[in-house]
Structure 1
């Protein structure tokens, strides 16, 4: 059975500025440079931004020794994560997008959708994630571990986004 997580990040910046930031290659390159403190192999694999929206593919390698013991029982070598994230064309009322993360020969899937909505004090990005692990007996524990780590990632990325917008836009 898949597990689902909803997460909202609130910003004081208007939705248009958050969208503008995420539609800029430098935003993603700076994010990957920051991730290199944790994992030395992080890169923007591809990036497209035009009138139809934006799409970015990120690749990050996490050393097996950095993984929690439960994950080490499943993965016998470094974990290479390919993450795709997109937003459609900017809509001042509601901009929709999605995201996925995959691991070659990984034991599950991670898919989600996101919405960028204006608020009276700025904007909110709502992310809804569904995680499914296909290993009997430990699937629930791995799914929960993934979701906990995802909340930490979303929180750190929200702080990064707010800071990047203030410094660059």
Structure 2
């Protein structure tokens, strides 16, 4: 059975400014450069921003020795994560998008949807993630670990977005 978790990042910037940042390739390139402190192999594999919205594919390699012990029992090699994230065309009331992550020969899936919503004092991105692991006995623990680590990632990305917008927009 899959596990779900929602996380909301609140911003003092208006929704259109956050969307604008996501629509600029340099935003993603700079984010991947920051990830290289943790994992030396990070890249923007593809990026599109047009009237249909934003679509970015990120690829990151995490060394097996950097994985938590529980994950090392399942992953016998370095973990290569491909993450695809989309936001539809900007809607000042409610912009919708999706994201997913895949790992070659990985024992599960991670999918989610995101919503960019204006608030009285800025905006919020609400992300709802669903993790499913197909390994008996440890599936629930791995799903929970994935979701907790994902929240940590989303928190770090929210701080990055705030800083990037302040410096660049």
TM > 0.5: yes
In structure 1, runs of 5+ residues without a counterpart are none
Tell me which stretches of 4 or more aligned residues in structure 1 moved more than 2 Å: none
Q: Per the alignment, in what secondary structure is the counterpart of residue 74 of structure 1?
A: coil
What does residue range 56-67 of structure 1 map to in structure 2 within 5 Å? 56-67=56-67
| Alpha-carbon distance between aligned partners in 1 of 2:12 and 2:125, rounded to the nearest angstrom | 12
| Alpha-carbon distance between aligned partners in 2 of 1:4 and 1:48, rounded to the nearest angstrom | 28
How many pairs does the alignment contain? 169
Q: Per the alignment, in what secondary structure is the counterpart of residue 143 of structure 1?
A: helix
CA RMSD of aligned residues (A): 0.3
Q: Per the alignment, in what secondary structure is the counterpart of residue 112 of structure 2?
A: strand
| Alpha-carbon distance between aligned partners in 2 of 1:53 and 1:128, rounded to the nearest angstrom | 20
| Alpha-carbon distance between aligned partners in 2 of 1:77 and 1:136, rounded to the nearest angstrom | 20
Query: 1:18 maps to what in 2?
Result: 18
Matched, 1:103 2:103: yes
Query: 1:93 maps to what in 2?
Result: 93
Query: 1:122 maps to what in 2?
Result: 122
* TM-score, normalised relative to structure 1: 1.00
For residue 70 of structure 1, report the CA deviation from its aligned partner.
0.5
* TM-score, normalised relative to structure 2: 1.00
